[in-house]
Structure 1
Amino acid sequence: MLALAVVAGVSWTAVVVHGADRAPGAAGWRLPEASEGRPAEAGGAGLGGLLLPYGEHRYRPGPDLNEFGSDIELTGAQTAALRKRSLARLPRSQRLAMERQIDRQPVKGMALRSYVGPAGASAGSDAEEFTVQITLARVADRRTAHSLAAAQRLLLGSAETVREGPAIKGHEDAGCFLPPKDVVEGLDAMLCVGSVGDVVLTASATGTEALDRQEVADMVTAQFDRIKDPGKAV
């Protein structure tokens, strides 16, 4: 994940959410004030407005994204601060090198939302609900977004143990990937990456070993379609 944070500049999210230091005595930290740039607003007309709204497609609010709740939108400055925060445990020389890389690949803003989704009818009677975290990152331009998403797909696809997941219909440049079999007994996961315009999309789903991968792929497809034609945010 830290490698992805450097190569693609957006997959640091999983590091922040799942790897944050919660040990007693950890250094205090807070986001920069949102006054620099557009204020962060969840579910507004900005980048957060492009996320699939709750209630549509049967999706409910999911687990909290660390201390931020299940729905958050960040400015570029806040995004950079969080990306650098995720590097705190690295040796100083590596951390400084990666921070310089982050400064060379600025992100204009980021919106994150977590969901609980139901298993589809095609998954069988043993399928259960799953959780999905969707991250949208707005970068400099369409070309940069395409390059960053392509770098993520190349890195994931080149790993021998990573398996290819379901296709995202209508979005050939997007890709979904599955972890090695039996990484954690009883659990399954899927990661999808791609871009639309100047937005890089990352979707991470987790569930039981009966994870309805096609239902997750359909949800991610709906998210890609919404960025292409956002319509009215709910």
Structure 2
Amino acid sequence: MNDVTTPQITPDGNADTPGTVTPLPPASPGRARRVILTALPVVLVVAAVGGAAAYTKITVDDADRSARTSLWKAPTHKPGKDPAGDVARGRASTELSKLLLPVPSGYRLGPDNGELGNDGEQSGKNATAAMKESAHGLAGKERRAYEQRIDKLRIEGIAVRSYADGSSMVINTEIMRMKDKKAVRNLYTFRTGLLESLDVFRQEPKIKGHTRNAKCYVLRKGSKDSIESMNCLAYDGELSISVSASGTKPFDRTAVAELLEDQLKHITSPGEYV
């Protein structure tokens, strides 16, 4: 934690507009990568951001995955008649799992993402404990401060689902519910502010209709790595949404942005699509 200064968040009181963040000075690529690998698991609180930010290279070699989808505006890929009963499209047996976007035509359930698999859920108590455990590298005052930050989130549950397409892309979506909407906005502002303070990211692409509550980030140009990645953060009321994607070049950023857009619309009107 010695390499980075935590951005300061000031909520502005507007329910629809995040607070402001005092940005950090630009970091050199080497230092920024060190910050990502060592500090993000702590200061971002939720590990979803750390994955793509640290060049996640997960399960893209043996994928059988198909093309992008658009479920909303005269969609090319139509939802099934009863996705709640179709396990191939994801679980819909709990309040949180119903909020996850059903697997669209052209995609399938992706690889497992840690303990929760490719379509799992965790209670707020267990999710809080797991997040605190992620601070095992900290000691004393820093660990106590980290655990206090986790407690203040008042997490009620987390649901995850992964999607895979026919090219090489894997997309992981996480929805976390908290009791306090203000905490959700603050977490979003904090995480986006930190990413924007590091010189290795650029914001791209924009999520249509969600300029205030959703942002996506990719690594700046110049990487010679064969794997590309993308991270998106969003919020809606008491829900914090994270979408991370990785795949071989050429990487379809538009498809990831469209899936996030569909996910946000699904949260608004889940009954129409499940």
TM-score bucket (shorter structure): 0.7 to 0.9
Mapping of 1:147-226 within 5 angstroms?
A: 147-173=186-212, 174-183=214-223, 185-226=225-266
Residue 47 of structure 2: aligned partner: 12
Instruction: Answer whether contact 2:184 2:237 (CA < 8 A) is retained.
Output: yes
Q: Which amino acid aligns with 2:99?
A: L
Q: Which amino acid aligns with 1:64?
A: D
Instruction: Answer whether contact 1:72 1:113 (CA < 8 A) is retained.
Output: yes
Q: Distance in 1 between matches of 2:251 and 2:197?
A: 24
What is the aligned length?
A: 201
Q: Which amino acid aligns with 1:157?
A: E
Q: Distance in 1 between matches of 2:105 and 2:183?
A: 30
2:101 to 44, 52, 55: 52
Task: Show CA shifts across 1:135-155 (max 9, x none).
Answer: 101112333322221222111
Q: Distance in 2 between matches of 1:6 and 1:140?
A: 21
In structure 1, the gaps of 5 or more residues are 19-40, 119-127
Q: Which amino acid aligns with 2:171?
A: V
Q: Which amino acid aligns with 1:100?
A: Q
Task: Show CA shifts across 1:96-145 (max 9, x none).
Answer: 32112212222111111111034xxxxxxxxx331011010111233332
Q: Which amino acid aligns with 1:219?
A: L
In structure 2, the gaps of 5 or more residues are 1-35, 55-89
Instruction: Answer whether contact 2:42 2:135 (CA < 8 A) is retained.
Output: no
Instruction: Answer whether contact 1:50 1:233 (CA < 8 A) is retained.
Output: no
Q: Which amino acid aligns with 1:45?
A: T
Larger-Rg structure: 2
Q: Distance in 2 between matches of 1:102 and 1:74?
A: 15
Residue 115 of structure 1: aligned partner: 163
Q: Distance in 2 between matches of 1:104 and 1:117?
A: 37
Instruction: Answer whether contact 2:124 2:158 (CA < 8 A) is retained.
Output: yes
Q: Distance in 1 between matches of 2:39 and 2:239?
A: 20
State the TM-score, normalizing by the size of structure 1.
0.76
Instruction: Answer whether contact 1:130 1:207 (CA < 8 A) is retained.
Output: yes
CA change 1:184–1:90 in 2 (3 A) is farther
Instruction: Answer whether contact 1:141 1:198 (CA < 8 A) is retained.
Output: yes
Q: Could you tell me how far 1:51 is from its partner in structure 2?
A: 0.4
Q: Could you tell me how far 1:184 is from its partner in structure 2?
A: 6.0
CA change 1:232–1:44 in 2 (3 A) is farther
Q: Secondary structure in 2 aligned to 1:136?
A: strand
Residue 182 of structure 2: aligned partner: 143
Q: Distance in 1 between matches of 2:210 and 2:185?
A: 12
Q: Which amino acid aligns with 2:163?
A: Y
Q: Secondary structure in 1 aligned to 2:271?
A: coil
State the TM-score, normalizing by the size of structure 2.
0.66
The alignment status of 1:227 with 2:267, answered yes or no, reads yes
Instruction: Answer whether contact 1:45 1:233 (CA < 8 A) is retained.
Output: no
Q: Secondary structure in 2 aligned to 1:227?
A: helix
CA-based RMSD of the aligned residues comes to: 2.6
Q: Which amino acid aligns with 1:192?
A: C
Instruction: Answer whether contact 1:150 1:194 (CA < 8 A) is retained.
Output: no
Residue 86 of structure 1: aligned partner: 134
CA change 1:15–1:215 in 2 (3 A) is closer
Task: Show CA shifts across 1:59-85 (max 9, x none).
Answer: 211111123321111111011011112
Q: Distance in 1 between matches of 2:251 and 2:94?
A: 32
